[in-house]
Structure 1
Amino acid sequence: MATTTDTRELCSALERRLTLLDARVDSGHADSSEKLGPKLKTTLHSLPVELLNLIFELAHTDWLMFALHPEMYSMQPMALRSRSWRGLMKLMYQFPHTPIAVCKLWRDVVTSNPKFWTRAVIFADTKNPLAALGNLRNLLRYSRDLPVVVAVVRKSYNIMYDKEEGMNVSLILEVLLQNLHRFQDMYFHLNQSSSLPSILHFIQRNRPATLSRLALHCDIDDGENLDMCNFNSVPMIKNNRSMLTTLKIDGRNLMSICENPTLWSLVLAHLKCLTLERLQLNEHSERNLSLTSTIEFLSKLPSLEVLTIRDVVFEVSPRVYGVQSPAITVSDLILEDLSDGVVKSIFDHATLNPTYMLMRNVPIDELPQIPQPAYLELSEIGTDQDLEDFLCFWDGEVLAIRSCMGFDDNLLGMFQAEIAPPYHVMLSPSLRELHIQDCPNFSAAALRSMIQIRKEFVERADNKDLDLRYISEIFVCGMGPILSEEDATWFRKNMKTFVWSTIQADGGSCHLDQDSFIPFTV
């Protein structure tokens, strides 16, 4: 709920604005005011309902723009999230809870508009779960028949284990399931996997198919989900068709799905965006997540477009050679925080041909196959990994390198080396756009040399008919080198798009304005 400080700050700000408005009116219409008699002072409590409602409409619009949904923060590293989470939660509760705490008139106006009550935040680590449930029931009543977005999150994630988290979630879940037909998006962002509800709750009982986005997210895998949902009733859902289009699911729930991949691929046939995350291999467990069953499930999803696999360990069976690998048809593939064996097994057991691929904090050496996405993004690749060898086998149009200490002048030299005749090509001949972020170990001179040589190669008379491309768009930001005036002038004259804004470890910076030829260096 809104704090007393929040309410006082809001009231003070509005009083100041009204006072300024009164002063402007007084100065501009002094004579008219004298003719009309004594002027009444405008106060918070004298505003007409129509004006109040208009003010709240504008405040609600601004709040929706700036109050990022907690689900967006679950995509960020935990260190960054812990610094910004408190501010996010304060912003989330500014509307509508702060204005309804001012007075009865404001409360009546705000509660009479159902669209102000379509976004709920419930804290799983609250000290008063019964009060939180009361607030949730009020929100469902005030929002009337409008679809609601709800997030079950924590006030703090700076904790190793919370024994009360699962109990609080079970109380919250009881209210949510009773009103499941009201929810459009539902996000669980908890600390441990054992607190997460079973996905079966959101599929069974022939509930109205209104839920389109569901996230079952946790920061640590501490074992099985403990909500006592009976997965022996899975056959009961064989005729159900969920309308979920976006699903983020923890490894424990995924394990239950992959015990019957064919059935669940039918139930979740509308999925377009799927994230699989957070599961550790347990040698003493009777069951682990089978890679073969997971690939079978993924390959049978007819509408899948975006697939993310993050921090998951699979139980891998030997591949049967001579049998064609199942194809997972997606446009976007995101692999994050995976071990060497997992990455190799994924590419060994499945056929993947995405248009966009992100590999972040994963090993890239000696992969069974190198996908050929048009847009390849490599992030946080360790220096023990061979970037040069990996990129030798890739040809695409856009390359993004982020936080890779192995991106240096030697790698740039490889991209400018001409492969001996009769090929008459360079590595990645289709490359036209390059993004570099937080890579401090290369020089601007080496980058210019590479691009200049590739450009001259493409423009040779004997290469005119080969339809080759040169790099024409460059984006450099974050930690990086200084840009000289000579190099800046060449880039500005020869590149279609050139953006440069870097910082150095000693606190210096180098920025080139959009229309400038001279970099601003501090």
Structure 2
Amino acid sequence: MEMPTRDFPLEVLLNIFNYVYQLNRTNDPPPFTAPKFVVRDDDEIAIVRSPALGPEVWESVDIRSPSLFPYALERVSAHWRDAISGLPHCWTRIVIFYDDKDFSIADSVRSTIEFSRDTSPLEITVARRHSTSFVGAPHEEKVLLRQIIDLVAPHIHRCKSLVFSVAYPSSLPSLSADLYHAAPMLTTLSLEASLPSDLELASHTTQQHEFPFPALKTLTLSGWTFLDLVANARWWASRWISYYIRSSTLRVANYSPSLAPSALDPHAILIDAIPLLNNIITVEFENTSFDCIVQPSDILVPSVPSMQQLRLTDVDPKATKTFIDTLCPTSLHLTNCGLLAKIPLGSFFSIYFKGLSDVQGIVRALSSWKGEQLHFDHCTAFNDELLDALGNSAPHPRTSKPLLTAQEMSCLDLVDCRGFSIAALKRMVQRRKMFLAEHPVDEDDMLIGFRRAGIQITGRGVPDMTEDEMQWFKDNTHYFTWYGSQSLDG
């Protein structure tokens, strides 16, 4: 006998819902801990390792998918909604689309949070379903978001993740004025606006209070929220860094100066921000145009910076120079960034170029680079001219000793770079090898000296290579791997 799904008995529905719930759960990678050594009763030494799996979390999915659990199931019928609303653990991922046509504060926020009962941890996302929603209507969005913030903020103590993805920066909650409730489980906080500026910006000057997020590891801010934080609540950032100096990540996205008068001066704020940034493990700036240059002499660089990685994506040339000159990461990632004429790359251990087309800018930047690992990804700038530059030398500006471009390079990694020839690559290897033979390393020299580089080439469209050519490169480099179109296609 057939039975409509809407008429399934409650017990059957609950079993189905719990099964689908488990399908939507996964395990976080466990935190790294060094193995412990213990002595057993028989005097044998045993190794106790960390668990193989981390805590259970929601599977990473597109929150706009029509099959998103549990929302797709609750929409089947009132019977299904009543059934699944009685399973609090199914409602620990709360997604609020505030631009839905049938959106209601009472129905979409209060009831969803109520379904979760006191279950924790929660993952709350407030977003638009459509990227064009509220564009051109900053006041309407701000009023609506204020109501949502007031409803969500009292529950932040149960949150592991809290994400706001809005149109205008003025619609975002203030870190210190709104999100002051203690949240000991919160590890991820994202306050992001898709538009870089608007006409209703207002700064929030606040008094210091107890830092509410002692477990916070990953922080994403709109560009304006970042400037406001440093200018008016610098203590907040300082305390966060002191809590999670070993694994902190800051991402700042979308900023351009507002056309309206503003009390926030990007140049002055960056001077205050840079010492803080140097103590964050990973810093990312994306689609930002601060349009100012901060000189290294303007700031105080810590004697032992903690930063390991700096990522700049679509950042204006002046800000790119500022961050490269004043921040001290181990690795530097540049994606679609403009390079000013004088922008030496110093001694970053590894540099990643992605999407860059300025050959001369890269050549100038690498002329005095003392790092070891060089990576190019989808770079039209990586061509025969750049390879010839990597094989050239010039007198050192102070000692007049011959200095090879990217002299300490020990690794050259190319991904989907199509504009070079095998002949130019071979010529570069020969010239660098000849330089090493003609200029042996002086033990008293400050430079370690040229190292024979390893080369790795991957991607479709890279030049084809014969077996004889591959063997030549293997014989004349530290290591050589090539995975072109033929290899990738099997």
CA RMSD of aligned residues (A): 4.2
Do the aligned partners of residues 384 and 225 (structure 1) sit closer, same or farther apart at CA in structure 2, a change above 3 Å counting?
Answer: farther
Correspondence for 1:443: 421
Q: Is the CA contact 1:265–1:297 (under 8 Å) kept in the aligned structure 2? A: no
Residues matched between the structures, number? 442
Partners of 1:313 and 1:150 in 2: how far apart?
Answer: 30
Correspondence for 2:483: 500
Q: Decide which structure has the larger Cα Rg and report it.
A: 1
Partners of 1:294 and 1:467 in 2: how far apart?
Answer: 36
Q: Is the CA contact 1:431–1:469 (under 8 Å) kept in the aligned structure 2? A: yes
| Offset, 1:398 | 1.6
Do the aligned partners of residues 252 and 153 (structure 1) sit closer, same or farther apart at CA in structure 2, a change above 3 Å counting?
Answer: same
2:137 maps to 1:154:
no
| Offset, 1:386 | 1.9
Partners of 1:222 and 1:359 in 2: how far apart?
Answer: 24
Q: Which one of 261, 276, 296 corresponds to residue 285 of structure 1?
A: 261
Do the aligned partners of residues 45 and 490 (structure 1) sit closer, same or farther apart at CA in structure 2, a change above 3 Å counting?
Answer: farther
| Offset, 1:100 | 4.3
2:446 maps to 1:469:
no
Q: Which one of 229, 233, 236 corresponds to residue 257 of structure 1?
A: 229
Unmatched tracts of structure 2, length 5 or more: 28-55
What pairs with 1:190-201 in structure 2 (closer than 5 Å)? Answer: 190-201=166-177
Correspondence for 1:32: none
Partners of 1:284 and 1:112 in 2: how far apart?
Answer: 50
| Offset, 1:413 | 1.6
The one-character-per-residue Cα deviations of 1:96-123 (angstroms, maximum 9, x if unpaired) are 2334455788767755554432222211
| Offset, 1:511 | 2.7
| Offset, 1:287 | 1.9
Q: Is the CA contact 1:474–1:499 (under 8 Å) kept in the aligned structure 2? A: yes
What pairs with 1:73-152 in structure 2 (closer than 5 Å)? Answer: 89-90=64-65, 93-101=67-75, 110-111=84-85, 113-130=87-104, 133-134=107-108, 137-142=111-116, 144-152=118-126
Partners of 1:159 and 1:406 in 2: how far apart?
Answer: 38
Identity within the alignment, %: 19
Do the aligned partners of residues 56 and 160 (structure 1) sit closer, same or farther apart at CA in structure 2, a change above 3 Å counting?
Answer: closer
Partners of 1:443 and 1:297 in 2: how far apart?
Answer: 44
Partners of 2:295 and 2:8 in 1: how far apart?
Answer: 72
Correspondence for 1:187: 163
Partners of 1:429 and 1:320 in 2: how far apart?
Answer: 25
Give the TM-score taking structure 2 as reference length. 0.75
Bigger shift: 260-269 or 56-65?
A: 56-65
Bigger shift: 424-433 or 245-254?
A: 424-433
Correspondence for 1:84: none
| Offset, 1:408 | 0.8
Q: Is the CA contact 1:381–1:404 (under 8 Å) kept in the aligned structure 2? A: yes
Partners of 1:471 and 1:62 in 2: how far apart?
Answer: 41
Bigger shift: 372-381 or 415-424?
A: 415-424
2:315 maps to 1:341:
no
Matched position secondary structure for 1:179: helix
Do the aligned partners of residues 53 and 96 (structure 1) sit closer, same or farther apart at CA in structure 2, a change above 3 Å counting?
Answer: closer
Q: Structure 2: which amino acid aligns with 1:444?
A: I
Q: Structure 1: which amino acid aligns with 2:168?
A: Q
The one-character-per-residue Cα deviations of 1:434-465 (angstroms, maximum 9, x if unpaired) are 22234332113322442355457668996698
Q: Structure 1: which amino acid aligns with 2:463?
A: P
Partners of 1:346 and 1:280 in 2: how far apart?
Answer: 17
Do the aligned partners of residues 382 and 217 (structure 1) sit closer, same or farther apart at CA in structure 2, a change above 3 Å counting?
Answer: same
Correspondence for 2:281: 305
Correspondence for 1:379: 354
Partners of 1:108 and 1:238 in 2: how far apart?
Answer: 42
Which structure: greater helix fraction? 1
Q: Is the CA contact 1:261–1:296 (under 8 Å) kept in the aligned structure 2? A: no
